[in-house]
């Protein structure tokens, strides 16, 4: 299994956390990944400030989670200048499934018992007990977490 771990900050892992092939984890701030988490192939987690992910979270292939944006400006000569990062914490609850190739952006809170559809761009909070999808991601239907599967 090939994973790239770049830890300059603090990474806290719960029990039974698994990473797929070619996962890229870059932690410069503080990141907490709860127990029984599965982070599939090609997952990217880049933390400059704070990312907190609960327990029993399934992150599908190709998902990206970024707690920052690049801060840029145009100089007097009209050239694009990189001026650092704009950061805001990400919080993802327990019992969450994030679909393939979704992107979770800075400042987002995803509640407990949430399903995020494949290819979603999450730039706003998602309350607990919802299925959400789209670009931008938005609630699609409530989830009845009291129902038992058959």
Active site residues: 68
Give phi and psi for 46, each to the nearest 5. Answer: -125, 115
Q: How many CA atoms lie within 13 A of 58 on its CB side?
A: 11
Give the DSSP letter of residue 101: T
Could you please report the per-residue DSSP string of 58-71? EE-TT-EEESEEEE
CB distance 58 to 99 below 8 Å:
no
CB distance 49 to 29 below 8 Å:
yes
């Amino acid at each position: 299994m090939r994973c790239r771990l770049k830890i300059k900050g603090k990474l806290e892992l719960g029990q039974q956390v698994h990473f797929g092939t070619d996962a890229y984890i870059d932690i410069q701030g503080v990141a907490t990944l709860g127990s029984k988490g599965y982070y599939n192939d090609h997952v990217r987690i880049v933390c400059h400030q704070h990312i907190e992910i609960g327990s029993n979270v399934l992150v599908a292939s190709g998902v990206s989670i970024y707690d920052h944006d690049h801060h840029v400006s145009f100089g007097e000569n009209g050239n694009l200048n990189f001026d650092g990062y704009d950061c805001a914490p990400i919080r993802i609850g327990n019992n969450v499934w994030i679909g393939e190739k979704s992107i979770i952006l800075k400042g987002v809170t995803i509640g407990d018992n949430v399903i995020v559809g494949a290819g979603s761009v999450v730039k706003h909070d998602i309350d607990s007990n919802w299925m959400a999808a789209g670009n931008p991601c938005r609630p699609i239907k409530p989830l009845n977490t009291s129902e038992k599967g058959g």
